[in-house]
Amino acid sequence: MRRSVASSCLPNPGHVALARLEEKLGSRYSLCTQNVDALHEAAGSRKVLHMHGQLFESRCADDDCGSETIRDTRTYMQRSEIPWCPCGAMMRPNIVWFGEMPMFMERIIPAIERCTIFVTVGSSGAVHPAASFAQIARSNGAKSVYVGLESPLNAHAFDDIILGPSGERLPGLFRCS
């Protein structure tokens, strides 16, 4: 069901602004998302770390299997339609379920520790480890900015809070769209 819904979504001007910022900054830019859709890539972003995985990929449910993650856009309406890995385990979406460790943390945390400007977009500020990212950035000297519809629970960790839809606020913030 989530794949069906996500497949009809399009990137907004905020996604496009982030892709253009990546074009301008190159290797000095990192984008980490909690979203499992592919909207950043659809907007043109190339270097996206999906800390909660990617909905349009599948992997073996057995973490010890070692098989490759595969691109998978199919929807499975019945359990009997879900494919099986050659190892004998059922395939699953390549996303992080509640209680599982987010992906790419070994790359995300060092990028946050090195950044000079840290921007969070639309996060509630309640779910860890992402809720701690702004404070990590600030403790390493970065300016931290929040953009979203309402103030996050971790508002104290930000230097600036810009309220409003990201599709309206990000293009003007970066002046690169």
Residue 121, beta-bridge partner list:
147
Tally of CB atoms within 10 A around 35: 17
Catalytic residue at 40?
no
CA–CA distance from 58 to each of 6, 8, 71 (Å)?
15, 19, 6
What is the number of helices (H) and of strands (E) in the chain?
6, 8
How far is CA 7 from each of CA 33, 71, 93, 147, 150, rounded to the nearest angstrom? Answer: 18, 14, 15, 25, 27
Strand partners, 117: 143
Identify the active-site residue in 15, 40, 50, 52. Answer: 52
Cis peptide preceding 129, ω within 30 of 0: yes
CA distance 3 to 51: 18
Whether the Cβ atoms of residue 147 and residue 173 lie closer than 8 Å to each other: yes
Q: Which residues are catalytic?
A: 52
